[in-house]
Amino acid sequence: MDTLKYKTGVLVEKFLIRGGVPLQGSVRVSGAKNSVLPILAAGLLGDSPLMVQNVPRLVDVVTMIKLIDKLGAKVRVGVENEDCQCQFDDASDPLRNEQSLEKLIDLVCSTQENAPLCLSIDASVLHNRDEGLVAPYELVKTMRASILVLGPLLARFGEAKVSLPGGCAIGSRPVDLHIKALKQMGAEIQIADGYINAKAPNGLKGARICFDQVTVTGTENILMAAALAEGETVLENAAREPEIVDLANCLRAMGAEIEGDGTALIRVKGVKSLKGTQHRVIADRIEAGTFLCAAAATRGSVILEQVDPAALDVVLLKLEDAGAIISTQGNQISLDMQGNRPKAVDILTAPHPGFPTDMQAQFMAMNSVAEGTATIVEKIFENRFMHATELNRLGAQIKINGSTATVKGVETLTGAPIMATDLRASASLVIGALAAEGQTEIHRIYHIDRGYEHIESKVRLLGGRIERLKA
């Protein structure tokens, strides 16, 4: 079984996929990437350790670990056993010893690689406090979610210096919404030399925050900041994603007073302090949807384990429209195409509970081999069709007009060299390659490694023919 190299640099590797085989079998869904990153940042709020379970083995998770360690918190890395109990290496308590953080992460990730990670974050005393609470450019530039440490640091310690995130290939993700909200809560913020310099010498104060547009990371950042702010904070036009609810559940277990998460109106009554707790991250609904689309595109059948069907309502309905037979029971979802070609389905992305933008590309891949013609309208990000050109290299018939893609299904795709474009949408290329006849090489797969845990291992469990090779 392949072992990923958990580095923050570019991995010079590729996938070799021999398609044309229906995916069949069962696979466990990993913990949610979009949940675990803000929850790890929430560890900075507590005056005792936060233990996080069901942590996926992703490059972005490693980046967040390194950032929290850089800020001075004590981090321990372990693995879950079969009974979902955490097992920590003594060498990781604390990490600051002769064995570097990166080496320890590599060690943990190279053993029991099918088991989820456990992380313990102890921010009761930040060792680097005298050096200032700085999130440096070299870490923030590789992961936009690093901005999530801003709210917790400012709320608990009254100061933070966080590098401005860099550009985003799929579209703008302005942090001005975060900054505007924190200013409303009494923060003094200046931007200089590429850094957000924030201070709240008298602490943050509750405020009524109305986001100009729905923002997931903005909602998460202000939700965490409000947990320790004086008085009540009201978030209007808040994001409603299941990952927001997961973060709120973690914060409540730490002692926060939060109501309304999962709706557009969230109320937070600030408390004086938060304690550590033990929290299990929810399943990754995007990974789950990706494997369902892969099974549909290859005319196969799949059972997903350790997943919440309710988080995938709109995706499951669209898959049923495509001709899939869907059944759910407990934490399982099963999909069966009964050997049939999928039917084309129209997609309109929207903030939750609408159709998720992170599933748009996967449905485009499925529509590429479906009966009929589908229209896909992207309403979240302005440049989210980069994968379409690569799918066309496989023989797909996709035409782009602004925010609308028209996909005319073909009987089969044909293998070709293609290139991953971003961390979530690039899974569509894996789906296209699995549905294609012949051999496909996917380059720049470091994008995929940021968003999917051991995707090649899970594909092989379902009978897919995929290898990770040096490029």
For strands 188-192 and 195-199, give the pairing: antiparallel
- Nearest alpha carbon to residue 364 among 354, 355, 349, 374: 374
Contact 424, 286 (CB under 8 A): yes
How far apart are alpha carbons 414 and 239 in whole angstroms?
A: 40
Active site includes 168?
yes
Which neighbouring-strand residues pair with 377?
Answer: 348, 404
What is the rounded end-to-end Cα distance, in angstroms, of the chain?
A: 18
Residue of 149, 99, 100 lying closest to 126 (CA atoms): 149
Q: Residue 390, Cα to own-chain centre: how many angstroms?
A: 23
Residue (of 119, 45, 121, 47) closest to 77 by Cα position: 119
**Sheet strand arrangement including 232-236:** 208-210, 232-236, 265-269, 257-259
Closest CA to 45 of 16, 7, 71: 71
Q: Taking the CA of residue 10 as centre, how many other CA atoms within 13 Å lie in the half-sphere pointing to its CB?
A: 6
Closest CA to 78 of 50, 102, 112: 112
Token pair in block for residue 143: 């992961």
Residue that is written with structure tokens 């007073």 in the block: 257
Among residues 86, 109, 168, 210, the one annotated as catalytic is: 168
Find how far residue 335's CA is from the centre of its chain.
23
Any idea which residues carry the catalytic annotation?
168
